[in-house]
A and B are shown apart, each in its own frame.
Chain A
């Protein structure tokens, strides 16, 4: 992966993580992560970009939806209503189902942007 790609991915993860207390969050992180691959596709072509993505865009979309829906149903195991936020403390860091939900949103947004933009580039034979 190129340097720009790696940087944007790290920035995306950082934005995702701090989203709950500072500006950031799943949508923004997803867009940032996808920009690296879009950039790569515009310059070097979509084949390379698709190879550098671990899985196809629609796999990300599917997994993201699955993660979000799972985080919605986890509270059922404790007898609470769906989408209730459950929090635990792990090594001083607060983790919870909203974070899982946000990760799902991140994957979905990443997936759709790469899916749409890479398909446009392929279909228009931009490169």
Chain B
């Protein structure tokens, strides 16, 4: 157990490995994948060892002091649930890294790929190991961002960019909703820590905010785990390189929503909302996903839709909220991760070897793929839920759980059987199309043997399928993990026994029915597939969700642009007028409303040197306004600027004076540089405009004077200057109070200011360079 305290450091090593990946990739080429795979392997071994020694009803919490807000730190929690997810994330992570080493061998951007994939792994591990809801949220959003970068990895392709943006907008919207839910939970329960929240179930579910919390959280979960109607980003995400699809969009990231449901079930579950909304949407998703998959021809899209269906099943099971359903959900999560990861990897291998993923064009691959063919068969068996695979055990558990559904059990059973039947049909369909040697093909399928037999590409799928078979034959090995997980999800210590044979019962009969239906579907596959394809096309032309979403976004952007055009018209003088008039009128009104209209002017203590300075400055200002020569006007304004600096000096503000002199000089220099290219004499605006501007200027000047005269005697609260004078030396070790305020007491404001300066510099340089490049283009023409 002591080894677990090294978890944070191991995570840092993973992040470091990822950051170093681009540099390493230059030296090691694609072997960097193999090297990086060792780090998740360490995680895997650590998790396995922990599971052996972790007692069945205990969890291990590691408090880490770093955090973003008080109460929102990055503490770690290791219990059955995080172990199961952690094992899958790290285990499949090792295999995906090895696979990517083979897949991305010829890519120029491998370094960036491995960087992103490793950082994603770190974020996902952080998510499942998080003890604090705020920490969990940070990792949740990180996975969304990295997923965006990975989906759009081939960023020269427009459709990849579009798919990435759509996935990101949806999951980010869900993330925002989730943040609101988490903050509400924190406010109601008074804590963000999961250990403490586990006891607050009664408080949260009875609270008046519970429906709001539930809905906000559910939006977050539905976007991340691609539930209907927010599922449409997942097929688009198939534009990512296949290792990404295998890892993120089947085994890990999309399951984050399910993980969250299981995590919060102790304190947000067991209510009518939970047990009706989740099964309903889960069942619909399960059915729609399976149905649409049958009409697709691209292997990755078939797998994407079946993944949507599987996620629907998991949400459905989490919603049913019984011991049996949680057990089923966890087993199914493992089952699905294993076979889906393998199938995606195999798809990628076939894609590289034959150049296509279209199942109409693929065929006769049995001998050419060697061991991978066996792996495919095993994975397809698992998907169909046939013995002796773990998939069979999973399906039995699911049926058992569905029979106990509290609301609409009949509908759920019917949808469940149909969806599973479709899965069986799809598995047979894929097997036949890929491997049956007597199938008629229009043109033979060319196979590039170097890819087909590549050990890096084959290792992943073969290992996953073998593991899936082993677990199916000996399922007792995962019971221990499940017991601990169930304890923390259901607060119920139950001994779990997983076996292949449960005897003749209703569930077995249902399995028979499913398989028969599935075979029936397979036999009629051409007709069914054609019908579904027609339905899909109808759906896509009329209600194509991705397009509707795009239209929504473009409409919104256009609306925002129209408003911006109205407010940001580009005329400097109108900006100034708006600013002056609004500010001065608001401040004057506020000040005089609050403290009356009397002004105390004390004429006894006049400093005559300041008055002289002010008179000189006024001459300068008048000359600047009246002069027709541009350079003279600028120099006169310089007089005003330097005069202000002298005033600062007279009143003892040395820092301000130095800054004023320096900036004034610089501005004058820049002015002269620029003015040199303008005509020497100014063009004046017409009389009416000058009158308007003159009146506004005079009014603003008068009212500003009144404000200044008044403000001297208004003290709404204690002046903060006393705090600074008293504490500058003690707390901040500085005698220059102005500087101490800038970099210590008010450092946040300064940080904002230098950011604005940086942006201003970027804007100025961009504008100037664009103007000069336009001029160059005209010159060249």
Contacts and interface: CB of A to CB of B under 8 A. Distances in A.
A106 B659 CA distance: 13
Contacts of A83: 747-748, 751
Nearest to B73: A79
B478 to A, nearest CB: 39
Interface of B: 65-68, 654-655, 658-659, 662-663, 666, 669-670, 673-674, 676-677, 731-736, 738-740, 742-744, 747-748, 750-751, 754-755, 757-758, 760-762, 764-765, 768-769, 771-772
A76 B67 contact: yes
Contacts of A122: 772
B673 A124 contact: yes
A21 B735 contact: yes
Given A20-B736, A28-B655, A101-B750, A115 B761 contact: yes
Contacts of B654: 23
Given A76-B68, A116-B670, 10 more contacts: A19-B736, A20-B739, A24-B655, A24-B658, A104-B754, A111-B761, A116-B764, A117-B670, A120-B670, A124-B673
A31 B743 contact: no
A44 interface: no
Contacts of A31: 659, 662-663, 666
A112 to B, nearest CB: 4
A127 B747 CA distance: 40
B666 A105 contact: no
B659 to A, nearest CB: 6
B761 A116 contact: yes
B676 A124 contact: yes
Contacts of A104: 754
Interface string A41-80: 0100000000000000110011011001100100011110
Given A69-B751, A72-B747, A101-B750, A85 B772 contact: no
A21 B674 contact: no
* Chain A binding surface SS class: helix
A91 interface: no
B532 to A, nearest CB: 53
Nearest to A85: B744
A25 B754 CA distance: 14
A116 B765 contact: yes
Given A27-B659, A112-B758, A112-B761, A120 B673 contact: yes
Given A119-B768, A120-B674, A20 B740 contact: yes
* Residue with the highest number of chain A CB atoms closer than 10 Å, among B655, B739, B765: B739
A78 B750 CA distance: 23
A42 B739 CA distance: 31
19 contacts: A20-B733, A21-B735, A24-B658, A24-B739, A28-B659, A28-B662, A58-B762, A68-B751, A83-B747, A101-B747, A102-B739, A102-B743, A104-B754, A105-B750, A105-B754, A109-B754, A120-B670, A120-B673, A126-B673
Given A24-B655, A25-B736, A112-B758, A124 B677 contact: yes
A57 B738 CA distance: 27
Given A79-B66, A116-B764, A124-B673, A23 B655 contact: yes
A79 to B, nearest CB: 4
A50 to B, nearest CB: 13
A28 B658 contact: yes
A111 B757 CA distance: 10
Nearest to A71: B747
Nearest to B754: A108
A72 B736 contact: no
B65 A79 contact: yes
B732 A21 contact: no
Contacts of B768: 119-120, 123
Contacts of B739: 19-20, 24-25, 102
B736 A22 contact: yes
A87 interface: yes
A85 to B, nearest CB: 5
A126 B435 CA distance: 73
A83 B765 CA distance: 31
A77 B670 CA distance: 43
Contacts of A120: 670, 673-674, 768
A26 interface: yes
A85 B731 CA distance: 9
A120 B733 CA distance: 41
A112 B760 contact: yes
Interface string A4-41: 00000000000000011111111110011001001000
A90 interface: no
Contacts of A94: 733
A62 B731 CA distance: 30
List of 4 A-B pairs having minimum Cβ-Cβ separation, nearest first: A112-B761, A20-B734, A23-B654, A79-B65
Contacts of A58: 761-762, 765
Contact of B754 (A42, A65, A116): A65
A22 B655 CA distance: 9
B769 A119 contact: yes
